[in-house]
Amino acid sequence: MEASATAREEQRGIHLGRWIVGALVAAFLALLIYGLTTKGHDDRIDKALAAGRPATAPAFSLEVLERGALPPRLERSVGGALGQSKMSLADLQGTPVVLNMWASWCTPCRQEAGRLERGWKTLGSRGVLFLGVDIQDLRGDAHSFGKQYGITYPSVRDAGRDSANRYGATGIPETFFIDSRGRVVGHVIGVVSDRQLVDGALAAEAGRVAGTSAGGRSFKVR
């Protein structure tokens, strides 16, 4: 009887040891997966701009959410790409771009919506493309936002925030100014002002580094 009880105790000890090892392995794997899938702030663009250098704009290929109304000059250069279901950054080579990251649920984005549309009306005719990147949003809500604020420039949709991560955006709105060679020459964090918008767009047009600057309010996202 005593030997039997000892055997049972040993068996329970073995099972407990296996359970502890299994739990530790599971915890290690969870931490490993978290480390692989959770990225810190990618500041390569801002570091390059701070050093007075342009940064290669991260590539993307995203669903066309709104084709927008293009002036003739841009219709000839990028109209075909915007008529497709998806558009890539490579489709925009040769065109300076004001890339604005936004979402319908982003309160600060509402502050700059009219300003961006006015900038588009002025600078689009010069051949500067305004492009919205709608992130972490529902299509219906995004369409409603565009109608509410009278947005006529094109937008693409990122159902997650992969594009924001690649650009190093920590929140929205954020605006990136990309020259015709596909290089980021300027970055505004937060609501963009009229002056920042014009300066950044002209820098993109000229291929001149404008640097990184702080705008107004922003909505931090994970």
pLDDT (tens digit per residue) in 127-183: 999 999 999 999 999 999 999 999 999 999 999 999 999 999 989 999 999 999 999
- Report whether pLDDT(35) > 70: no
- Report whether pLDDT(122) > 50: yes
Instruction: Return d(Cα 8, Cα 37) in angstroms, integer.
Output: 43
Check residue 16 and give its pLDDT.
Answer: 53
- Report whether pLDDT(5) > 80: no
Tokens (6 digits) for 180:
């015709």
- Report whether pLDDT(3) > 60: no
Token pair 């689009």 is found at: 124
The number of CA neighbours under 13 Å toward the Cβ of 43 is 9
The amino acid present at 197, given as its one-letter code, is L
Confidence label for 23 from pLDDT (cuts 50, 70 and 90) = very low
- Report whether pLDDT(11) > 70: no
Q: What is the mean pLDDT of residues 99-105?
A: 97
Cβ-contact 194, 114 below 8 angstroms: no
Instruction: State the CB neighbour count (10 A cutoff) for residue 130.
Output: 25
Compute the mean pLDDT over every residue in the chain, rounded to the nearest whole number. 87
Q: Which percentage of the chain shows pLDDT scores above 90?
A: 77
**CA dihedral sign, ordered 84, 88, 90, 93:** positive
Mean pLDDT lowest for which of 36-45, 54-63, 99-108, 173-182?
36-45
Instruction: Return d(Cα 81, Cα 131) in angstroms, integer.
Output: 13
The amino acid present at 37, given as its one-letter code, is T
Check residue 34 and give its pLDDT.
Answer: 34
Instruction: Return d(Cα 71, Cα 55) in angstroms, integer.
Output: 28
Beta strands in the chain (DSSP E): 55-56, 61-66, 86-88, 97-102, 129-135, 155-158, 171-172, 174-178, 183-189, 211-214, 219-220
Task: Check whether the bond before 108 is cis (ω within 30° of 0).
Answer: no
- Report whether pLDDT(54) > 80: yes
Distances (CA, A) of 196 to 16, 95, 146, 212, 213: 63, 19, 22, 10, 8
DSSP per position, 38-80: ------HHHHHHHTT--EEPPP-EEEEEE-----HHHHHHHHH
